[in-house]
Structure formats: structure tokens, C-alpha cells
Amino acid sequence: MRVPKRRYDTNPQQNFDPHITQKQADEMQANLVKLIKVIRPKLANEVAEHAKLGDFSENAAYQMAKGKLRGVNNRILVLQNNLNKAIIIKTDKKNKTVCLGCQVKVETNGQQSIYTILGSQETNPDNCIISHLSPIGSALLGHRAGDKVEVEINDKIIKYKIIEII
């Protein structure tokens, strides 16, 4: 049987943006608890059952169960690390400048849009939730209502006027 090769050169932590909302942090915590208290013990029992069959080198079921357990353990470590590094976005309704967690009403080409600026872990462009690292999000940060901002996207310059910070 061929054992899968591990990818030591890829690090899932490299692109982690620590800015998350409290809701996202709670979801990550719930997922972590589920992995630790439900899924990992179940997989550990499965590994133990397959280990009883003997001869680990030719026991494909054991190898598969061990791989699943290794994946869950890795996911637990990633979640714990992400939660430890997390920076919770706190929204301040009194803020006069565009910042993380705020909603911004902008106008471009005569059309108005409302964007919510969050960390890259929670972006959803279809629902107008953009990252603070995106071209539009990073251009809007720090500006006030009435300011005009130019954003270069695909070699085109798009002008946004900030109508209101909600």
C-alpha cells in the first residue's frame, strides 16, 4: 500500500487574517469543541479497533483511520492557533472615519452601494461584505463621509464617493 506524502512545505497559517467578528470567533470555538469532544474520540476509537487487527503495514483501514485522525488533530491545532491570534472586530457607531466593522454607503457611477468592511475570513462579495485587504476596502479605510476615493481594479480607475458611515 502506498502511504500518502505529507506536505511540509504548505502552511495553512500563512494567509490567516486575525481580524474576525465575535460571531466568527464563537463559531470557531464551537467547531473546536466539537472536534475535541466528539469527532477526535470517535476517530481514536476507530483507530484502536483497526489496530486490533494487527499488521499495521498492510492494514489499509488502519492507515485511513490514522490519516483521518491526523487531519482532525491538525485542524484542532489550526483552530486553536487562529483563536489565540484572533483580533475581535469591535464596531463603534460614533466613528467618523471608515474602519473595520463599519458599514459604508458609497456612490459610484450614479449607483449607491453599502459595503461592510470585515476581515478576509468573513468576506462575501455577493452580500457586499468586503475585506479590509481588498482594493476597495483598503482604499476606503481611514476616509470620512464626503471623501472621494479612487480604486484601481483591472487597470481601470473607479471613483467612489463616501456618502455615509453607518
pLDDT of residue 99: 93
Q: What does the pLDDT read at residue 9?
A: 47
Res 59: pLDDT: 83
Query: Which CATH architecture is the domain 19-88 placed in?
Result: Orthogonal Bundle (1.10)
Residues of each domain in the chain carrying CATH 3.10.50.30: 103-165
Torsion sign over Cα 30, 31, 32, 36:
positive
Tens of pLDDT, residue by residue over 44-62, are 999 999 888 877 778 889 9
Please count the CA atoms within 13 angstroms of the CA of 75 that sit on its side-chain side: 16
- The span from the CA of 132 to the CA of 104, in Å, is 12
Low-confidence ranges of the chain (pLDDT < 50): 9
Instruction: State the pLDDT at residue 22.
Output: 95
Q: Where in the chain is the domain with CATH 1.10.287.180?
A: 19-88
The pLDDT value recorded for residue 54 is 77
Do residues 133 and 17 make contact, with C-beta atoms less than 8 angstroms apart? yes
CATH T-level topology, domain 103-165? Chitinase A; domain 3 (3.10.50)
